[in-house]
């Protein structure tokens, strides 16, 4: 066993970390990491809380895939980040969970307008959700330093260390692809929240939602049948090759001429098979 103290055994002089096969990495190889307003807002909030100025320390870790694992649950992000030592470091980022009363108000407000649910399901966090939560005296993002906790098992006393910073980057990119990430941290994962919203709309206490279409499974038998007494729709009176006038001319050539000119007879034959 080494006689060196634990805090002196990590190479802080810039030595490369151990490579990770199949590690979690961010896809942004250069420039800004955030691709959506809510992810950018998350990073901006970290900047306001005094965290963002140190995030660049972990950018190379996040881009090279040094994160071994990452789990998002109510109140915490827990990750293993590989550094220069054989054993990965354990990283935890905590975010205060909304209590039952707060979540009840949130669910009622979201259920009152199905547009919010539709937006979340489509992979979007509408900017209006910030105003909605402000009216409830809540914030989707960390509102103060007491809202956010950071811990890493590495011996570096700087907060955030590069291992924490790397996890922040990956978390921001995960928020891009899954808008439920921050809501999960606040205490409701995707399935639980949607179930609560459905129950809220169906209950007598909450707002009633208009009857929606029948489930697809109930319509499969008659999917290819038209309505009773209905005639098939009349095709539009356009030339079969009209679509070729709506697209940019491809760089490919056909026998020395334009590709669209070569395709027009084909479109015409498909449009008038009996001609």
| Mean per-residue pLDDT, 181-194 | 91
Q: Count other C-beta atoms under 10 Å from residue 18's C-beta.
A: 13
- In this predicted model, what pLDDT tens digit does every residue of 113-124 receive, in sequence order? 888 888 887 878
Predicted confidence (pLDDT) per residue in 88-103, tens digit: 999 999 999 999 999 9
pLDDT for residue 121: 79
pLDDT at 248: 67
**Cα(6)–Cα(244) distance, integer angstroms:** 69
What pLDDT score does 41 carry? 87
Segment 24-50 shows an average pLDDT of 79
Residue 53 has a CB neighbour count (10 Å cut-off) of 10
* Tens of pLDDT, residues 152-178: 999 988 888 999 999 998 998 888 888
Distance, in Å, from the CA atom of 218 to the CA atom of 142, rounded to the nearest integer, reads: 44
pLDDT tens readout for residues 99-156: 999 999 999 999 888 888 888 878 788 888 989 999 999 999 887 777 889 999 999 8
User: In terms of C-beta density within 10 A (0-12 exposed, 13-18 middle, 19 or more buried), how is residue 125 classed?
Assistant: buried
Tracing tokens 């959506």 back to the chain, one arrives at 36
pLDDT at 31: 62
| Half-sphere exposure (Cβ direction) of 232: Cα atoms closer than 13 Å | 4
Helix (H, G, I), strand (E, B) or coil at 255: coil
Q: Which two tokens stand for residue 186?
A: 């606040």
């Amino acid at each position: 066993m080494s006689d060196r103290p634990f805090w002196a055994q990590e190479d802080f002089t810039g030595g490369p970390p151990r490579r990770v096969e199949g590690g979690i990495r961010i896809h942004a190889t250069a420039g800004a990491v955030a691709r959506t307003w809510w992810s950018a807002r998350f990073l901006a909030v970290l900047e306001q809380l005094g965290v963002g100025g140190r995030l660049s320390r972990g950018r190379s870790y996040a881009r090279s895939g040094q994160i071994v694992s990452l789990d998002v649950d109510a109140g915490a992000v827990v990750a293993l980040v590989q550094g220069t030592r054989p054993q990965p470091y354990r990283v935890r980022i905590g975010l205060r969970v909304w209590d039952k009363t707060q979540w009840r108000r949130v669910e009622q407000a979201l259920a009152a307008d199905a547009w919010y649910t539709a937006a979340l399901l489509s992979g979007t966090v509408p900017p209006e959700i910030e105003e909605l939560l402000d009216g409830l005296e809540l914030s989707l993002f960390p509102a103060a330093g007491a809202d956010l906790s950071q811990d890493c098992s590495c011996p570096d006393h700087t907060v955030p260390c590069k291992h924490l910073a790397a996890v922040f980057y990956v978390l921001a990119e995960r928020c891009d692809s899954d808008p439920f990430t921050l809501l999960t941290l606040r205490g409701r994962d995707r399935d639980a929240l949607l179930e609560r919203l459905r129950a809220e709309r169906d209950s007598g206490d909450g707002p009633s939602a208009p009857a929606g279409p029948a489930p697809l499974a109930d319509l499969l038998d008659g999917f290819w049948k038209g309505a009773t007494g209905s005639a098939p729709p009349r095709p539009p009176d356009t030339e079969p090759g009209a679509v070729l006038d709506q697209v940019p001319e491809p760089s490919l050539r056909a026998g020395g001429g334009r590709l669209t000119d070569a395709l027009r007879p084909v479109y015409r034959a498909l449009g008038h098979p009996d001609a």
